[in-house]
Structure 1
């Protein structure tokens, strides 16, 4: 194998783009990386040329480093490929970022961002997921290439399982129990750092609801228990943030404050992560276990992400709010004036925190497995597939303390 030659991760040279004008220089007081990241959410660590050691337990898409994710969130930007590189043009048509194609494993586009036909074909052919989010952060869908893991027999088994209410109820109970267990863990971890907060009552109520899960007669009752737990959980979380970023429980469609805008935006990104993980595991995301199967949502993705909501998103958002990395000025009013969206700087702060969380190395959360939280999502999708297709296999959520 030829040694990898180190070169700048995000730099456009005139020779690489014949006939194109060089991009503008950084503004006064702005360093090179800040200039590149202004309006374009590109986690720097995903663009570096080094390769970490291969995780011996699991390897997403057969590559040693699954964490090379490109985020683009400036309206009018456009992605295309040329001479072996992925190019991001600004709204004025000038190139802003140039990345080697092999340094990209996933692309997340927010708002009115264009994708050329060549970039689309390259992504599909090379199994690069392209995720589409709305300006307010809602999950719209994604491009996913063909996976070798999909097969007709497995999908037929999954369809039969999803249609059998009695068969899927034990797995649905396990999913809800895992989520409630992690909600209690998040409250304990954050609450112990805030001596003035009383989270004991909320934890006791959620623990009681978790015990009731074992007796739920159907998924409708399960969803009711999960909803009651989440109401108390978010009310408790709202008492653990500074006054200037206070929120009153969970609000959606639209979010009413900065905190809820951040929760919704990060949940949309996590939903896309889970959808890609299920496709890679050979499962159909629309055939649900906890959530009813419908044509208009990835119901199984919603089930897979339940335990990861508190583990990955809620912890990250709360840390950003409590450390003032998410601040009131990061919220903007929605165009209709009915809600609140994250502004560009707020999205950057959230994406940075989210990616840092997903790249964190974890041991012991799943039996016999170690790796980043992103790899845990993919591994848990495989285990969910076993629970669906192998009678007698007992699925359990991740262990986290």
Structure 2
């Protein structure tokens, strides 16, 4: 199994990134910080001042992904090096992406994994906090999600599958506000608002989903797949459709539960956010630095992979699923095994 390498997070919008030998140099005004790039697989920066050509070349040559995100959590730039892997694998991926039946077969397992994991988040909250939730509604929606898995198995086209996914996502979102058990007056969830996020919960979700999408993109590229050619999300210039496919099954157990931990364990508090003139709610610079630390710590926690039976870090789950997908495309597996958390 691959070793989990480190990610460097640069949270200041005023940072300029440069290279000195084998070190990343972060320049903020008169301040200069230096970080060795050995054992680094990714640099994520919220900055907009820029990056030196020397650092870009070093990252490309050493396959260190360089990602810029906006303060609202949207990825604005993504630099990677030369593709890894066998070109025959990517040709197989492209061929299957043109087949409606093959797209349905692969996308079905992505969505089954997503619904299964959403249901277990609901079941876990029901078990642990029964006295603080509307149990009847939780049980009703959990049953609906179980039935939705059967509907996925019976779906005959990709549009039907997308419809099932959309319906279950709406039902799951109805419960999300009840997942928030602490700081209720300051952290309320009324539904997703993305560009920009309009409340504290959406600010955390948007940034976390961006981090997860980056992890999935890097994982797919590391095993030789094209992150921009998906099976469920349609092709669109600049959109990493396969990364969005892959992250669907990881949203609930990895991203949503991380955000809920930040709120329920009071790791993030109301004064960690600011409101812009357009209504966008953002993390402050200091809070964003804390966020990245918490995210890296989460990635370092371990779990026994439900399919492989091996204990690995959460941060390796996107890579593991990308590897299993590549094995399916090569014909080594009869079907793609989704990540089923419990």
TM-score, normalisation: structure 2: 0.92
Over the aligned positions, Cα root-mean-square deviation in angstroms equals 1.8
More helix by share: 2
Q: Structure 1's 268 and 201: CA in aligned 2 closer, same or farther, altered over 3 A? A: same
Separation in structure 1 between the aligned mates of residue 289 and residue 316 of structure 2, nearest angstrom:
23
Structure 1 residue aligned with 2:200, among 237, 251, 258?
Answer: 258
Residue 187 and residue 344 in structure 1: after superposition, are their counterparts in 2 closer, same or farther (change >3 A)?
farther
Give 1:391 deviation, angstroms: 7.9
8 Å contact kept, 1:162–1:293: no
Q: 1:183 corresponds to which residue? A: 118
* 1:324 equivalent in structure 2: 266
- Partner residue of 1:15? none
1:310 to 252, 264, 267: 252
The one of 282, 291, 301 aligned to 1:341: 282
- Cα separation, 2, equivalents of 1:288 and 1:84: 35
Map 1:2-401 to 2 at 5 A: 58-59=1-2, 64-66=3-5, 68-90=6-28, 92-95=29-32, 97-149=33-85, 151-194=86-129, 195-198=131-134, 199-241=138-180, 242-337=184-279, 339-390=280-331, 393-401=334-342
The answer (yes or no) to whether the contact 2:4–2:313 under 8 Å persists in 1 is: no
Structure 1 position 330, deviation (Å): 2.1
Following superposition, which runs of at least 4 residues in structure 1 exceed 4 angstroms of deviation? none
Q: CA deviation at 1:392?
A: 6.2
Stretches of structure 1 lacking an aligned partner (at least 5 in a row) = 1-57
How many residues are treated as equivalent by the alignment? Answer: 335
Stretches of structure 2 that go unaligned for 5 or more consecutive residues are: none
Q: Distance in 2 between matches of 1:218 and 1:341?
A: 39
Pick closer, same or farther for the CA change 1:380–1:325 going to 2, 3 Å.
same
Give the drift of 1:368: 4.4
Higher relative contact order (CA 8 A, sep 6+): 2
State the distance in 2 between where 1:272 and 1:400 align: 21
2:35 match: secondary structure: strand
**Residues 1:311 and 1:394: Cα distance change in structure 2 (over 3 Å):** same
Shift of residue 279, structure 1, vs aligned partner: 0.7
Alpha carbons 2:11, 2:289 under 8 Å: kept: no
- Tell me, what secondary structure is at the counterpart of 2:57? helix
